[in-house]
Structure 1
Amino acid sequence: MDSTLYQVNAQSAPGDPRMAPLYALAVSAGAPADLARKIRAGLLLVAALLVASGLIFWVAANWQAQSHWFKLGLIEGTLALSVLAACLWPRLRLAALFCATLVLGGLLAYVGQTYQTGADAWQLFAAWAALALVWVALAGSDLLWSVWVLIVAAAIVFWTGKLDLWQVLVADRDSFAQLMLRLVLWLALALVPLLVYCVPALRVRGGMGWWSQRLALGGALAAWSAIATVQLFDEATRQTVAAFALSGTLVAASLLLSLFSRFRDFICTCLATVAANVLVLSLIGRWIFEWHETEALLAFAVIVMVCLGISVKALITAQHYLHAQQHDHQEVL
């Protein structure tokens, strides 16, 4: 036993109730009781990923060698077996539905490639998300919701049609209605995990789906920051001011909710802090670079370092605050 535990025990008052759980932790075996279950679940997920990716790669490698109906039947059969396994064997449900979600995307891609439906890429991802939502909503798994969030995020990105820096900076500018629609779509995606938590029938096992929430909020914050930055360095118009103001409001609201609401989370707080730094530095940089002098770059570098220091200090304070709130909540329970 660590000598520190003896020192803590010696400094504690006789009969301190905190010593009993500390002693139980000190003499425990050290391995979590559910370690075997977690390893088994992880291996099943890896197996599901290998089955789905192996099937897709095999079909792509044998595109000319196999007939159309054989490839279609193979993909559909794998999808049906995955869903059937999820219905019959509860222990395999998560891995089977994970495999089914990936195979469903491969099936839609195969149908679109074979029949040349003319559908855009965003329509493929939208159909993928809509069809997979059936079992994702019923499974109550944070992993499946995380995959679903990534699929929807890809659909939104492909819908914008701006997939590289050239298209973002040089292509035709979006109208005000298009900008507002993009902001609203990312806001809707960020709210999905919160809505799932608020509906008891859809709630993830264990309460809040934190990883799906972090992915959804991270994607939304990145999109809002990019929209605001691009608009800021464009010509100064009412559209620029409105887009930057709305993006800043959404980022600030995300930061406040991550700190002070029932959905507080340190990782979400960090993501919102990064987005806030991007907006602040973009605004300052837009003003500084109008000087057209060499000193402007040095001044901007100093401001970046100051913002970095303030952010680190604020995040440390936020971490202590969140830990204190969590400790108080556990004591109440």
Structure 2
Amino acid sequence: MDEALYRVAAQSPHDAQTLAQLHRVATSPGEPRSLARHLHWGLLLVAALLLASGLIFWIAANWQDQTRMFKLMLIEGALLASIVASLVWRRGRIAALLCATLALGGLLAFIGQTYQTGADAWQLFATWAALALLWTLLARSDVLWLVWVGIVATAIGMWYGHMDLWDLLFRGRAMVTQQAVYMLLWLALALVPWLVSLVPWTRHRNGMAWWSHRVALAMALGAWTTVGVIDLFVRESSGLAYPLSGLLIGAAMFVSYQGRLQDFASLCLATLAANVWVLSLVARALFDSGDSVGSLFLFTIATLACLGGTVTGLLAVQRQLRAQSSAAKGDAQ
């Protein structure tokens, strides 16, 4: 619903002029030009995604029918054409760079599989992210940052698995350094959108690329929570991952509640991770007692208490943020 309806309805007294203004706002046709612009932009992105995916699938489907050099030149030509299109076609720049990013990944994968460079999978994704970083910075698009965050997250996950996932998760005392590095890598990824917003020539037009920030934070929270919970329940654990994950989750909640990174969606994600972290500790304490039925009952009560407290607190924060937003709009007018 249009926010102008709320502003007009909040005026008092409700005289004839106010009611007439409210009727005009309620029956206004909206902004069809804005809808058409967003629809056109979305279709360009879908077209770029389909073109790049079609190129990669075509090469895979015709693996034996075409020569190696032809496939290499085709992918390189698609990459070059996408970059040139981004330079000369202003309205389709983001779509062209999205196509270039995907084509770059296909090119690296083709080279790695064809020439057997010996590189690990995580190195491919790390190289992909490093090469695509230049135009991602210059384009200042949340869509490209979202794709870039996904590439880096895949590289971090594959690097962690490459170091023998079983040892890292279940032999934590011997792998404490690797666990700490892994969690700090996710912290660095979560901070990338904020750091980019501090640089004027890379900053998003809205000041912050919020969707990429939320996705990066969600992935980081998931990784921290997973490693922390495993560290809590495994006997041969390091004892460091669980408190460190709690510290990182608490910091994410704090910065999402106030300050430059204040965002209700991010706060909800951090609160969900905090619930999992707390309930894991409660489960560990209860089920170690030996009374499974009583422990299950108490754990259910604790879960309901956390759920009720979380919902109540988030609703209160949402009302507070709406009030702050309304006050800021009123001061601006």
| TM-score, scaled to structure 2 | 0.90
Aligned pairs (5 A) from 1:118-133: 118-133=118-133
Aligned pairs (5 A) from 1:1-333: 8=9, 12=13, 22=22, 24-161=24-161, 175-235=175-235, 239-240=238-239, 242-295=240-293, 296-333=295-332
- Paired residue type of 1:254: A
Identity %: 51
8 Å Cα contact 1:86-1:93 kept in structure 2: yes
How far off is 1:167 after superposition?
7.5
How far off is 1:201 after superposition?
0.8
8 Å Cα contact 1:157-1:163 kept in structure 2: no
Query: Following the alignment from structure 2 to structure 1, what is the Cα–Cα distance between the partners of residues 22 and 11?
Result: 13
Any idea what SS the aligned residue of 1:284 has? helix
8 Å Cα contact 2:170-2:234 kept in structure 1: no
Structure 1 runs (4+) greater than 6 angstroms displaced: 18-21, 162-168
8 Å Cα contact 1:258-1:264 kept in structure 2: yes
Alpha-carbon distance change, 9 to 112 in structure 1, aligned in 2, over 3 angstroms: closer
- Paired residue type of 1:101: T
8 Å Cα contact 2:83-2:96 kept in structure 1: yes
Query: Following the alignment from structure 1 to structure 2, what is the Cα–Cα distance between the partners of residues 145 and 10?
Result: 41
Query: Following the alignment from structure 2 to structure 1, what is the Cα–Cα distance between the partners of residues 151 and 316?
Result: 35
Any idea what SS the aligned residue of 1:200 has? coil
Alpha-carbon distance change, 15 to 198 in structure 1, aligned in 2, over 3 angstroms: farther
Query: Following the alignment from structure 2 to structure 1, what is the Cα–Cα distance between the partners of residues 198 and 53?
Result: 34
Count of residues paired in the alignment:
326
Query: Following the alignment from structure 1 to structure 2, what is the Cα–Cα distance between the partners of residues 110 and 302?
Result: 54
> CA offsets per residue over residues 197-224 of structure 1, 9 Å max, x none?
1111110122211100101111111111
Query: Following the alignment from structure 1 to structure 2, what is the Cα–Cα distance between the partners of residues 186 and 179?
Result: 11
Query: Following the alignment from structure 1 to structure 2, what is the Cα–Cα distance between the partners of residues 249 and 211?
Result: 24
Runs of 5+ unmatched residues, structure 1: none
Alpha-carbon distance change, 147 to 173 in structure 1, aligned in 2, over 3 angstroms: farther
> CA offsets per residue over residues 71-123 of structure 1, 9 Å max, x none?
11111100100000000010110100011111111111101000111111110
Query: Following the alignment from structure 2 to structure 1, what is the Cα–Cα distance between the partners of residues 298 and 168?
Result: 27
Query: Following the alignment from structure 1 to structure 2, what is the Cα–Cα distance between the partners of residues 277 and 137?
Result: 35
Alpha-carbon distance change, 10 to 64 in structure 1, aligned in 2, over 3 angstroms: closer
Alpha-carbon distance change, 170 to 232 in structure 1, aligned in 2, over 3 angstroms: closer
> CA offsets per residue over residues 128-158 of structure 1, 9 Å max, x none?
0000001000001011001101111111000
Between 1:153-162 and 1:276-285, the stretch displaced more is: 153-162
Alpha-carbon distance change, 267 to 165 in structure 1, aligned in 2, over 3 angstroms: farther
How far off is 1:300 after superposition?
1.4
How far off is 1:23 after superposition?
5.1
- Paired residue type of 2:184: V
Query: Following the alignment from structure 2 to structure 1, what is the Cα–Cα distance between the partners of residues 11 and 209?
Result: 41
8 Å Cα contact 2:222-2:273 kept in structure 1: yes
Query: Following the alignment from structure 2 to structure 1, what is the Cα–Cα distance between the partners of residues 74 and 191?
Result: 37
Query: Following the alignment from structure 2 to structure 1, what is the Cα–Cα distance between the partners of residues 10 and 272?
Result: 42
Alpha-carbon distance change, 39 to 332 in structure 1, aligned in 2, over 3 angstroms: same
Runs of 5+ unmatched residues, structure 2: none
8 Å Cα contact 2:79-2:100 kept in structure 1: yes
Query: Following the alignment from structure 2 to structure 1, what is the Cα–Cα distance between the partners of residues 10 and 312?
Result: 34
How far off is 1:9 after superposition?
9.2
Alpha-carbon distance change, 63 to 244 in structure 1, aligned in 2, over 3 angstroms: same
Alpha-carbon distance change, 119 to 202 in structure 1, aligned in 2, over 3 angstroms: same
Any idea what SS the aligned residue of 1:33 has? helix
> CA offsets per residue over residues 257-314 of structure 1, 9 Å max, x none?
1111122111101100000001101111111111222222222122112211111111
8 Å Cα contact 2:122-2:154 kept in structure 1: yes
